[in-house]
Amino acid sequence: MKLNLGCGSIRPKGWINTDSSLNANIQRIPFIGKRISKIFNPIEYKDSNLIYMNLNRPWKYKDNSVDIVYASHLFEHLSLRSANLFLQEAYRVLRPGGVIRIVVPDLYKIAKEYIHTYENTEKEDPTQFIMWAINLHREGQYGNPNWLKRIVLEWQGYPHQHKYMYDEKSLRIKFNQAGFKDILSLTYGSSTYINEIADVEGTKESYLSVYLEGRK
């Protein structure tokens, strides 16, 4: 059993792909789902291989029942409380020897890039880079939604900006605290423990990131 949590549009076969996005889940409704979702969000997903999962609550999987827990650019969107719950639940549901792989923006690399941009660019505003890199809330990002869309956005917890930032050291500490062993720092699309990593990471890196794996 392989969990791909916070999958977005990456929904490979052979994985249990989960997401809490209302838009993504409405589109799964046969015949009318995509029409309804356009009221709230113009993004259209081609694949309906998805189930709903709220990561702010305990997971509905049995102890020692999962082989892989994978999450890319999801963990930083969780509060510290939910992040701790995530790791506790991942450890609980993984089989002995099971693998967790978490990908998050790397604050260390981003900070280095910001300093380089600041010190070597005279005309370009470096704050534009940091706004993108740290994913701060930008006013007007969601346009001017009507009252119905405002209710839906509020219910979904918008804005979906980062709630915390990590680097390799801080994420490794969290892995250790949760009980994971054999922790490795890797690179995009490269995995020591997951043969099917290309299913979920594709072919191109889009962010300066930490790629951390561990075993139960």
pLDDT of amino acid 137: 56
* pLDDT above 70 (res 135): no
Cβ neighbors of 43 (< 8 A, separation 6 or more) are: 23
* pLDDT above 90 (res 118): no
β-sheet bridge partners, residue 16: 3
Mean of per-residue pLDDT scores for the chain: 81
Nearest CA among 175, 156, 174 for reference residue 213: 175
Domain coordinates of the chain in residue numbers? 2-104+161-215
Residue-level length of the chain: 216
pLDDT of amino acid 192: 96
How far apart, in whole angstroms, are the C-alpha atoms of residue 159 and residue 143?
A: 12
Q: What percent of the chain has pLDDT over 90?
A: 50
Q: Could you tell me the CATH superfamily of domain 2-104+161-215?
A: Vaccinia Virus protein VP39 (3.40.50.150)
41 pLDDT band, cuts 50/70/90, is low
3-state secondary structure at position 135: coil
119 pLDDT band, cuts 50/70/90, is confident
pLDDT of amino acid 57: 92
3-state secondary structure at position 136: coil
Radius of gyration over every alpha carbon of the chain, rounded to an integer in angstroms: 18
pLDDT of amino acid 91: 98
pLDDT: which is higher, 67 or 161: 67
pLDDT of amino acid 25: 47
User: Contact, 159 vs 137, CB < 8 A?
Assistant: yes
32 pLDDT band, cuts 50/70/90, is very low
pLDDT: which is higher, 125 or 86: 86
* pLDDT above 80 (res 123): no
How far apart, in whole angstroms, are the C-alpha atoms of residue 149 and residue 203?
A: 35
Residue 159: asked if its preceding bond is cis (omega within 30°), the reply is: yes
**Side chain identity at residue 66, one-letter code:** V
Summarised one tens digit per residue, pLDDT across range 42-101 is 554 465 678 888 898 999 999 999 999 999 999 998 999 999 999 999 999 999 999 999
pLDDT of amino acid 117: 79
Summarised one tens digit per residue, pLDDT across range 176-215 is 999 999 999 999 999 999 999 999 997 777 778 999 999 9
Q: What percent of the chain has pLDDT over 70?
A: 69
**Side chain identity at residue 150, one-letter code:** R
